[in-house]
Structure 1
């Protein structure tokens, strides 16, 4: 990933990350963008030069980008030899062609080459497309968060 690609990616990632958290009911629309930018900056304090982070761009044979991948080689909960997939995004025009699966496999290889024995990730509950990709790529649920809206059906 080049510095220009990194800058664009951070902006797009923060927008999508905020949208997912707002949609899940975790953040308000007003606070989402700021919280997303802050969370990403905390994990990448040195940008592209942040140690232990893989920031990859998938490209077609003609050099056109098809997506991006971010893997932390150190697990956020300290699991030994387990990397963490922070983000995988396929460009909208290239979705549904198996390129996400190829990008995921490339990321798995890169993590394995750097000593990871496992790769873990989180998926927002409403993102069934991503959940299906991961399930059909051999990932299994190891923890699961559930939430019930207790205000649904309240009477005034």
Structure 2
């Protein structure tokens, strides 16, 4: 089986509005699952965090908000890359979000979307690319490890219960 080919294009305004809602729900869920936020506060905190990163929405400078597509134009997912690293690392971009739509998972498209995002970041001057992955998301962690990403920092937690 050959690797699927995925290209990326800028997200359209209608797609952006829908993505913002979906991203907030997913980001809140991940933080609630990780024990960082309560379910009651999750969605509000997620929306606030995303708005801080995208103060001008789609027009925020230094942000690549892309849709991954198959050769026939079928959208399969999205990737959001900040060309400026959150901790200021020079020449290092940061993947804020990557997701393959549920109906397209399990076919190697995540790896193809990741590679397409890497190409665009490289074309924009990035010499490295980082991301965070929640500890409970072993599927994503495996994808990143097998795509050449390595752990550079690691945060661990132990719940202290009475």
Partner of 1:75: 85
Aligned with residue 122 of structure 1, among 121, 132, 154: 132
What runs of 5+ residues in structure 2 fail to find an aligned partner? 1-10
Distance in 1 (CA, whole Å) between partners of 2:125 and 2:71 is 28
Residue 98 of structure 1: aligned partner: 108
CA RMSD of aligned residues (A): 0.6
Q: Which has the higher contact order (CA 8 A, sep 6+)?
A: 2
* 80-89 or 60-69, which deviates more: 60-69
* Distance of 2:49 and 2:142 partners within structure 1: 26
Structure 1: how far apart are the matches of 2:24 and 2:158?
26
Structure 1 outlier segments of 4+, above 4 Å: none
Cα shift at 1:62 = 2.5
Count residues in correspondence.
Answer: 152
The SS at the match of 2:19 is helix
TM-score (norm 1): 0.96
**Other structure's SS at 1:86 match:** strand
Secondary structure of the residue aligned to 1:144 is: coil
Matches of 2:94 and 2:152, distance apart in 1:
13
